[in-house]
Amino acid sequence: MSPTIRPRRLRQSAPMRRLVAETRIHPAQLVLPMFVAEGITEPRPISSMPGQVQHTLDSAAHEVERAIAAGIGGVMLFGVPTQKDAVGSGATDPDGILNRATAFLAERFGDATVVQTDLCLDEFTDHGHCGVLAADGSVDNDATLIRYADMAIAQAEAGSQILGLSGMMDGQVAHVRAALDDAGHQQAAILAYSAKYATALYGPFREAVDSSLTGDRKTYQQDPGNRREGLREALLDIAEGADIVMVKPASLYLDVLADVATASDVPVWAYQVSGEYAMVEAAAANGWIDRDRLITESITSIVRAGADAVLTYWAIEQAEWLQARGMGQGPGGIGQAGSVSA
């Protein structure tokens, strides 16, 4: 007997696949991470992240213009200073590279896109850790909170609309929220990097920010084997007043992302990190994969798992594909002609 239930009926053509697609990406769901460096006169390529650069202020402005034209949701700024010290003084200096870049871009584009900033000390400390060190060399959680509060106020005053608390210090959301409110910055939103894992996928990022780190961050970032802990961290941040929570990295932690998305009553984002980007670009450069299809498939999987928005270095490229296809999926993605496979 021939089967009467035939799921393939809904896969028989590109228009049919497009019609019944369960997961769709929109440009507004995408956020572009950007590196702005001090002391350079032209964009500096990042060797482990082909196609990505450390920006000057002018090249950053050009990239933000591209981002706005592509319709993406916003940009996340990281600063790369020339001088570092034990407490990350450049992070709170109004003329430090991150605050200067934020003010420069927010003044020009703040009405057209969401200018966001990374709130962490690791780019600014000479030891490369995300906080202040105690006498024994460990990261002092509570002393670090004081620095985060000052950094938050400096970023809000520079014009950042969303502050990305990525340091994984206990109590950071509550401490920063109180400091912002006391300083009159009640409208500054907090993005908590709630479930941030101590992963090998951060390697290329360390080149991108000229990291000074030796050792690891396992005493404050999460163990890759811990799933329940990721949800616990997110719920704690929500209780402390986070406006958005984050899972980072994305691709290897889709189970954690799904858990958080199911439980959260605030938006849930995910960060497709430097190592995820570098692996795809390296494999594509060797001709081993279909680059464009895999980019779209990877972002689709993150949204499918529950992310409301995705930080990705392919944000502009993916958004331009979506625009070219009337907000459908990207090259070779769901519903695209020519994507039929065995």
CA distances from 15 to 268, 296, 339 (A): 30, 18, 12
**Amino acid at residue number 142:** D
Q: Catalytic residue among 220, 248, 261, 300, which?
A: 248
Alpha carbon 264 to its chain centroid, in Å, reads 18
Alpha carbon 283 to its chain centroid, in Å, reads 22
Q: Catalytic residue among 84, 127, 175, 196, which?
A: 196
Nearest-angstrom CA–CA distance, 249 and 274: 9
Residue 195 sits at φ, ψ, to 5 deg, of -110, 85
- Does residue 84 have an active-site annotation? no
Residue pair 127/121 in contact by the 8 Å Cβ criterion: no
Q: Per DSSP, what are the bridge partners of residue 190?
A: 163
Q: Per DSSP, what are the bridge partners of residue 58?
A: none
Residue pair 160/117 in contact by the 8 Å Cβ criterion: yes
Which string of b and e fits 37-55 if b means at least 16 CB within 10 Å? bbebeebbebebbeebbbb
Token pair recorded at residue 338: 């020519």
Nearest-angstrom CA–CA distance, 340 and 342: 7
Q: Would you please indicate which residues are annotated as catalytic (active-site) residues?
A: 196, 248
